[in-house]
Structures are given as C-alpha cells and as structure tokens.
Chain A
C-alpha cells in the first residue's frame, strides 16, 4: 500500500518537476525570454554597471564609499547638487503658478476657448526644452526684447535669464503641462457635491478653493509636480545650452566627455540622479495610490461649471492670454530667429529672410536622415516589443510576466544621461562584429538607447490598445479552430493597429528630439541626429539662425506626430464604438 502511494506521489513530483523545468514551450515563451534578455542587456546591465562603478575603488576595484565622500568633499559638486535641487524645486513652483490658473479656469467655469487653452497648454511639450532656450535668451535675456524695452522705457531690467534663473524659466515653461494635465484631470474628478456641501455650510470663493477643492486635487497635483521635478533634475540640454554648468547633469556629462569614462564622479552623479528619479516616481506613485480620492460618488454628478460675471471674465481672459504669451514665447522667439537675419541688442530681428532654412537644409541633411533612421528603428522596435509584452502580461500566464512590464517601465526612472554613461561604460570594450569598431561608438547603439528610453510610452499605448480588445473576440476565433498564432495574427493585431500606430508615432516624434542620452553616444558628427545638430548649431552665434530653423523643423515633426497620433486614437475609438453597438 504505502509503496504504491509513494510511487504515485514521486511520479507526480517528477512530472511536476519536469513540467516546471521544461514547460510546454510555446512561441510566446521564447519571445518573453528574448525580450527579458534584451532588457537585461540594454537596460539593467548598463544601469547596474553605472551603480557598480560608483561604489568601486578606481585603483583596486574594491567596494568603497570613497567616491561619494570625494563627491561631497568637492565644493563644485556640493554646489551643483544644491543648484540642481534648487532649480528643480523652483521650476515646480513656477510651473505651478503657470498651470494652476489655466487648470482652474478651464475646469471650473464656462469659459469659451477652454479646449483651445488646454491644447495650447500642450505645445511646450512638443519642443525639446533646450531648443527654446536660445529663443528665450533673445526674448527674456539681459539684452533680450523685454529687458531692452524695460531699460528704454522704465530704466531697469529683470534678470529673467541670468544663471539659474534662466534654467528655471526655460524648464518651467517647458514642463508645466505635466502639472496642467494632471491637475485638470483631478479637478474634473471632484464630485460636485463635495463643493456644494462646503457652499451649503457657508464657504465660497478662494477659501472654498483652498480648503476643499485644492486639497482634493492634491494627488493629481503631486503626481504632476513630481514628474516636473525629476524631468528638470535630469535635464542635460537646457543647462548646457544656457552655459550653466554647475548642475548635476552637466557635471556628469562634462566629467565623462572631458576626463573620460574611467572618472568615478560621473558615475556618482548618475547614481544620485537615479536615486532621485526613483524616489520621486515612488513618491508620486504612493500619493496616487493612497490618496486617490474617488470622489465621484453614486448620486453625484461631475464637476459643476459656473458662469463668470463680466468683470471676472475680463480678468480670466487677461490672465490666460498673459500666461499663454509667456508659455508660447519660446516658439514665437524661435520662429522669429529662424526667419531673422541678425538679432542682437534689438527687440526684434533686423530683417527677415529664408536664408536660414537654406543653410539649415544644406548643413543638416545628414542630421535629419539620421534622425529618421534612429527614431524609426527605435519606434518600430518599441511597438513590436511593447505589443509582445502587453500580450504576454495581459493574456498569458507565463511565469514572471509582470516583471517584463516592470522592467520595461523602469526605464522611466533612468535619466538619459545615466543610460548614455552606462552604454559607454558597458559597450566600449565590446566590438561590433566584422567592422571591429567599439560597440559604444556604433550608430546602432544610439537607436537602441532611444528604443529603451521610449519603450515605457509605447508599452502603455500597446497595453491600452490590447485592453480594448475583448477576450471574447479571441475565444470566438479559437473556438472556430484558429490556433493561438493565427488568432493573434488575424484578430488581435488588426484590432490593436490604431493603438500600436499611435504608440509608434509618439515614440518616433519624441525620440526624434531626444538629446540627453544621444549627446553621450554620438561619436562623430556624421552619426549625429537632429537634436544634436541643433545643439551644435546653437553653439555659435552665426549658426543660431540655422539652428532655429532646424528647431522649427523639429517642432513641426513632433507636432505632426502628436496630432497624427491623436487623430489615429480618435478614429480608432470611433471605429470601435460603432462596432460596440449591441
């Protein structure tokens, strides 16, 4: 008796062991494995390498905290650390001052043009911040339009763009949409009865906003603010272009590019950047999770919009127009600069010409072609991997599938500079097959870095697209005899097309203007993409016009991308909606 039983159980155990060791390997298992390998190689290893080097003694290779001690013992680094922190915090403050009135006015009142304002609010995001920086210099700088006028008429100037102020202004104007988007969404989600209850008890106006409305919108605000903080903290292009080098990201770049990849300080700074990234993402995650007040309750309505009195309307339009002018000033400035002949010590350019665009086209064909190539490769890989991960996570039970998602998303927390440094360090000793040049200076590595940087966004788009494809549609195909593979080919992918395309366009457009990772990896001008080209142009006063023209091209590329992806998403929604009518 007992032997039979133990026989049975041992056979069961063996079976189970066999099953778990050699699971019924489907194609999807292999795909999951390959993606894991790719993420491990292109994301985990470089970042781990950076952290590892930061804690390693340069001479002996032993584990040490000495590098960090050296870092904090150097006054330049202490100053850079403080400056980065100060600039990020102040950018959040200024971005809040810009975003708060726009969000409040457009969500709480009947205000014609609300949609226009909300979409204009997105415009800064479609231009890399460093591109606008030069234009801002010309408008707000010491000898810029505003200060020249102020000096002529009032006899004083305001140092908008001096040193850290400039970085703060450029960054806050660029990144405030993150706060605007999140805050507007939170404000819209506050149940009408929350406000009505307060009014019923005697509260109104600013007090009502301060005590009830704003605290309830707090989670959305914090999420947006954390994003702004970290984006500014990590940004390399803007301080470099404004020639503000005593901040962390520029220091990391300068150490690596001037002293070399064996200097530990670049790695220490990278470590600090990563820690701050992770901390602020984690903080915003905690806030969103713990305090997401689902205030839209049963029996209540959405936000109640109020009519404005005439005087209030005048004030509101005044505020909105002023803010929009400030926010759009980089674009206006860039446009003027790109069509201007000479613009120096004058409120406006001396004369207007198309010459800049011609110069730009002659001097930057390579940049543009490179950009199309890199961003195209990156975005294609992004949506392929994104779709695969989305399918594996949502539709299969493959062991560890969630980790694919986490890993791909973790790229969000890795600043571009850090990834760039990681790639340099990891791949400089690896040679490209056949050509024999180091992998780190091969152009493909730029495309791969862009791919990793944009993967989280593409993954979100693909996940959303797949979630809209009802499981029943797949089951219907399978019950009619289609294999898993045929089902994915014939049913799932066609239905996901819209979302995938939107993901592609977003990835492409934003990869096209990425600077912080690419600037580390570009080894020769012939390999450089558009963003790097703008950076090169902007280095010399004579190249600024052409740089601005190239900047305008970048803005148009991203704008077309954004509009196209919105269009695709909307069209897709309509298509699905018409199918959904039961």
Chain B
C-alpha cells in the first residue's frame, strides 16, 4: 500500500451561517497515526468528513499524496472511512459488505474472493463471512466495517469515533487492535475522538480542536506536559490552574499566586496562569518552605490513588496521593501543600 501524507491548508467551512472550521492548517506525515481530539461541536468530525468529501465543500486545500481533493466527489478520492455507526448495510451478508468496494472497482471475482478472505482474516472474523450484520456483536461489526474499508487499499484511513459505540472493556481491546492493524498496514490514519485516553494511547501525534480552530498539535506527552493554552491544559487530564504572575529576580523566577503563595519556577516562563497536575502536589502535615495552607474538602478512593479536593485559600485544588504511600487525611483536616514545580508550565 502506498503511504500518502495529508496536508490541510487554510481550510474554512461553514454550514449556512454557522462557521464550523476557521482556518485549519495541518501536516500529517505518511504512515502516521494521527488523532483529532476535541469536545463535541469542535469541528473535528466536520474536518474528517471534509477530507472524505462529505458535507459542504470547504475553502482552502486538502492535499492527499500531493493531490488537492477539494471539490472532488467522495467516490473518486480513494479515502477509506469507518463510520461511527459502522454503517454496515443490513441487507448484505458480511462477505458482500466487504466485497462491495472491490465490486465497485470492477476487480475480477476471483481476486475479490481472495481479497475479502484476506481482509476478514486480518480482522480475525473469517468464520463470520456468511452472517448478516445484525447477527454480529458491536465489536464484530466494528471489525467488519474496518475490513470493508481497508480491503480496497485506500491511501488514507479515516476513523470517526470508531470506539464510541463499544462498551468500556471492548474499547481498550479494540484500540490495541486498531493500532496493531495500522502498524501492520502502515496506513496513514486519522482517528477522531473526544476521549483523551483513546487519543493518548493510540496516536503518534494529535491535534486538539476547539471552536473550529486547532489549539495545539504534538505528541500526547508534549500536549500533556507543555499545553500551549488553558483549553489544552484542561482538556488533557486534570489540571489545577492558579492565577497570578511571574516575578524574576536574577536567574531565580517564581510564580506568585493571587493568594500570595510563592512557587519557585526553575524553568522560568511567562504568563498569568500556572498549571499544576494533581500528582505534582503533595500533602504534608508540617509546613515547609513555599508550602501552601489548605483544608481537605472531600476525599475519593480511586484504588491506586486517593484523590483529595482541597481548599487552598479560595482556590480548589485536586491532589492525588499514591495509595499506600502515606497516611490518609480526613475531611476537614488542615494540611500543607507542596508543589513540585520542576516541570510546571506557565501559560
């Protein structure tokens, strides 16, 4: 299979008066597993559908393997798409569902048979070839939808919330399966999801979208560790965000919160918000340098961790402590909080 890159240049799109995409630029490398992550209404699905050729024509350019796709009919694009609802045709057997695209491409019947068998083998469902779609479980339908798409050897693979209709345990299994298949086929893949865990665990890189605008592009770690704005910081994992300002004294930078606490900033930075992840704050009974005072409001036992909700001078902080790593603090206890700011980001 040929590996094609996808280049999206200044794409604008609107449904009537409603502007959905506002100048999207992206460069997806050949063979990359790329995720569009964002809340509903962020435009991620619209962007994906625009790549496949569905919905109104966007302004700008969408290049696949160097060829501009804007304005082309969906059926000439050779872009494989797996739909959120799977869209298996209920009147066709599994085998005929998978063979559909090959028949449309006028592939000789013998080759169709062998290709369909190979595709079903690939998703491990060769024995269900003669079933009707409504006789399959959700996970099986998902895999058939995948087989139906990859059997035509598309240049790129688009997955529209492929795991959203599966139950939780199946979701974990399927996303590994998807990743395995993607690696095996080396197919440039875009995965649309609103679930950060899915995006984190599967994608090489991802784009976070909100309000029709790409907020940030990068690897999952980059986005988690170095969010470029508050939306990304909040959307990826839990973030404690404290307002304040940076004060620099020679090489020594510190962040002074609105409540007057001082947090040292070894990395420096500029901005009026500091992002502290729950695991980067620890709870102590004794005061120490730069410690904040707090009062435990609420406690949740999460298994490997205990999550505390703490009132720190008006700001509510979420703090995770490893279970078994220390004592439990009761609701209402007065405590001291010390933040590990070695990797803290100021936005």
Which residues of A come within 8 Å of B, CB atoms?
191, 193-194, 196-204, 207, 211-212, 215-216, 218, 291, 293, 295, 297-300
Q: Does B79 contact A (CB under 8 A)?
A: yes
Residue interface mask B73-103, A partner, CB < 8 A = 1: 1111011110111110111100000001100
Contact A215 B91 (CB under 8 A): yes
Q: Does B295 contact A (CB under 8 A)?
A: no
* Contact of A199 (CB < 8 Å), options: B74, B78, B86, B90: B74
Contact A201 B85 (CB under 8 A): no
Contact A293 B87 (CB under 8 A): no
Q: When chains A and B are docked, how far (Å) is the Cα of A299 from the Cα of B49?
A: 13
Q: Which residues of B contact A196 (CB under 8 A)?
A: 52, 54, 74, 81, 83, 87
Which residues of B come within 8 Å of A, CB atoms?
52-54, 73-76, 78-81, 83-87, 89-92, 100-101, 104-105, 145, 148-149, 152, 160-161, 164-165
* Contact of A202 (CB < 8 Å), options: B84, B85, B101: B101
State whether A204 and B85 are in contact (beta carbons under 8 Å apart), knowing that A299-B164, A299-B165 are contacts in the complex. Answer: no
Give 13 A-B contacts (CB < 8 Å), ordered by A residue: A197-B81, A197-B83, A198-B89, A199-B74, A201-B75, A201-B80, A202-B78, A203-B100, A203-B101, A207-B104, A218-B91, A295-B90, A300-B87
Q: When chains A and B are docked, how far (Å) is the Cα of A298 from the Cα of B84?
A: 8
Contact A299 B90 (CB under 8 A): no
Contact A201 B87 (CB under 8 A): no
Whole-angstrom distance from the CB of A32 to the nearest CB of chain B?
39
Whole-angstrom distance from the CB of A499 to the nearest CB of chain B?
33
Whole-angstrom distance from the CB of A291 to the nearest CB of chain B?
8
Q: When chains A and B are docked, how far (Å) is the Cα of A196 from the Cα of B73?
A: 11
Q: Which residues of B contact A295 (CB under 8 A)?
A: 90
Known pairs A196-B81, A202-B101, A202-B104; list 12 more (Cβ under 8 Å): A193-B83, A193-B85, A193-B87, A194-B87, A199-B74, A201-B100, A201-B101, A202-B152, A212-B89, A215-B89, A297-B86, A299-B161
Q: Is the contact region of chain B dominated by helix, strand, or loop, or is it mixed?
A: loop
Contact A191 B87 (CB under 8 A): yes
Q: When chains A and B are docked, how far (Å) is the Cα of A161 from the Cα of B165?
A: 57
Which residue of chain B lies nearest to A195 when distances are taken between CB atoms in the complex?
B87
Q: When chains A and B are docked, how far (Å) is the Cα of A354 from the Cα of B317?
A: 89
Q: When chains A and B are docked, how far (Å) is the Cα of A174 from the Cα of B187?
A: 56
Which residue of chain B lies nearest to A304 when distances are taken between CB atoms in the complex?
B54
Contact B165 A200 (CB under 8 A): no
Contact A299 B85 (CB under 8 A): yes
Q: Which residues of A contact B149 (CB under 8 A)?
A: 200-201
Which residue of chain B lies nearest to A202 when distances are taken between CB atoms in the complex?
B104
Whole-angstrom distance from the CB of A325 to the nearest CB of chain B?
34
Q: When chains A and B are docked, how far (Å) is the Cα of A485 from the Cα of B90?
A: 48
Contact A300 B165 (CB under 8 A): no
Contact A300 B81 (CB under 8 A): no
Q: When chains A and B are docked, how far (Å) is the Cα of A185 from the Cα of B44?
A: 31
Q: When chains A and B are docked, how far (Å) is the Cα of A197 from the Cα of B73?
A: 13
Q: When chains A and B are docked, how far (Å) is the Cα of A295 from the Cα of B80?
A: 21
Q: When chains A and B are docked, how far (Å) is the Cα of A291 from the Cα of B160?
A: 27
Contact B85 A191 (CB under 8 A): yes
* Contact of B84 (CB < 8 Å), options: A212, A218, A300: A300
Interface centre among B54, B87, B149, by most A CB within 10 Å? B87
Interface centre among B52, B83, B152, B165, by most A CB within 10 Å? B83
State whether A202 and B91 are in contact (beta carbons under 8 Å apart), knowing that A193-B83, A193-B85 are contacts in the complex. Answer: no
Q: When chains A and B are docked, how far (Å) is the Cα of A287 from the Cα of B202?
A: 43
Contact A200 B81 (CB under 8 A): yes
Q: Which residues of A contact B91 (CB under 8 A)?
A: 215-216, 218, 291, 293
Which residue of chain B lies nearest to A215 when distances are taken between CB atoms in the complex?
B91
Q: When chains A and B are docked, how far (Å) is the Cα of A194 from the Cα of B148?
A: 13
Q: Which residues of B contact A199 (CB under 8 A)?
A: 53-54, 73-75
Contact B165 A298 (CB under 8 A): yes
Q: Which residues of B contact A202 (CB under 8 A)?
A: 75-76, 78, 101, 104-105, 152
Contact A204 B73 (CB under 8 A): yes
Q: Which residues of A contact B101 (CB under 8 A)?
A: 201-203
Q: When chains A and B are docked, how far (Å) is the Cα of A212 from the Cα of B100?
A: 10
Q: When chains A and B are docked, how far (Å) is the Cα of A512 from the Cα of B91?
A: 42
Q: Which residues of A contact B73 (CB under 8 A)?
A: 199, 204
Q: Which residues of B contact A291 (CB under 8 A)?
A: 91
Can you list the 4 inter-chain pairs with the closest CB atoms, starting with the nearest? A201-B101, A299-B84, A297-B85, A202-B104
Q: When chains A and B are docked, how far (Å) is the Cα of A103 from the Cα of B100?
A: 26
Whole-angstrom distance from the CB of B240 to the nearest CB of chain A?
34
Whole-angstrom distance from the CB of A300 to the nearest CB of chain B?
5
Contact B152 A300 (CB under 8 A): no
Whole-angstrom distance from the CB of B189 to the nearest CB of chain A?
15
Whole-angstrom distance from the CB of B135 to the nearest CB of chain A?
13
Q: When chains A and B are docked, how far (Å) is the Cα of A199 from the Cα of B86?
A: 14
